[in-house]
Structure 1
Amino acid sequence: MSLIEQGQPLLDALRPQDRVALLALGVPRRYGAGEVILSEQATTSYVVAILSGLAVVFVETGRGNRVILALRGAGELVGEQSAMDRRPRSATVTALGRMDAVVIPGDRFRGFLAGNPAAGALVLRQLSSRLRSADGERRSLASEKVLQRLAARLFELAHRTGHPNPDGSVTIDLALPQHDLAASVGATREAVAKALRVLRERGIVRTAARRLVVMDVEPLRLLAGDGAPPGGPAV
């Protein structure tokens, strides 16, 4: 299971001249923490190219809860699916902290892809990667316990966003409150709080307000099992 996209971000994969040409089609925009970038079911078709910061992708459930599908960061696009198929948005995207981006109208984005087959292939590859990741998430929800899913998520965050400390621990400074952490593994806040308590009691993690320190990443990897994303921790 993976919250953060694997591999090279799309903007970085483009040829330099293609990246410049794509960004020139849009308008710079700065989003504040929690500001909505895209709304689920909206019929807009613009694409947002993230230059810095992070965005949270989520859907609302029938019970009024939300399930976090992904985090998108610098170099990634959001909204390209609706720009290409012209159907309503499949998820809501909000800024996690301050985020700088370029907003590209859907018709200009489609024109860019039509005239640039290499860029079009990269966008299709990104969509395919995200579909595969979504399949993995569904499999995880159906077959893994909350503790295993949480261990895999924390292992991934330590690997992708963590800051190594001199004592070998890894600090995760990502501003995800506990209810969002629960939403990222498809569990209730109470279930995640219980799982975190188990990890604290075993000396694997240490928690504080919107801050978590992984004291030892190897037990997380072992607990996650097949749910651990590829790659190693940021140590």
Structure 2
Amino acid sequence: MEGNLQNQSFWWISGLLLLCFVDRIFAQLKYSVPEHVQVGSPVGNVAKDLGLDIGSLPSRRFRIVSGPNHALFALNQNNGVMSVAQNADREVLCDGTKVCLIKTVSQYDITITATDCGEPQLYKVKTLHIQVSDVNDNIPVFSQNPVELYLVENNSAGAAIFSITATDEDLNENAAISYHIAKADGVKGEMASYLNINSENGLITALKSFDFENLKTFQFHVVATDSGAPSLSSNFFLFSTSFV
């Protein structure tokens, strides 16, 4: 499962892989799995990709020894296949670290050591790259929700009245958010005739002047939708109960 690293997040998982073999250890190994892939799913056949004799693996101590997050993966000592051992959630692995969440590339290290069976033993060291790609598993989250506003009567048409912002912990298109006004209650006519929202930045503006005699109160909600497939969305509620 070798993967293209462009525009995807990956971890270089730290660990130590002991082999009793040195041939082709300098070959660069890259594997890719999506986050939340089913436990037991194969990552790749490390032994085969290194050109090792499958039949000799059990006697050559072919195993993962240590390293941060190494428990996410398991290595079959009989056939050399590495598989997913635990649920891999990219955002959980980032542990809320802002740089990890927003960077296209997040990384850990796995150190591969190939050891022959001679006396004295000789070994080589190599880094194995495991790419854990982002999937759309987080909804947009608003910084404030709900909000109550006091609006100015006889305002100028086109004036900004409020700005909303939602964030998404996913990456790239999975985190690209658009906004639209979905529903309004307590208003004569369509809410779309009173308000407009910038779909890209969440800025809400008045399309016409508010008149307290005709419009005493209203409420509406904005939907923030990401661009993942399938897309995920969340609602923002805004209330206006009076004018000043």
More strand, by proportion: 2
TMscore range, shorter length: under 0.3
TM-score, structure 2 length as denominator? 0.25
Larger radius of gyration: 2
Question: TM-score normalized by structure 1?
Answer: 0.25
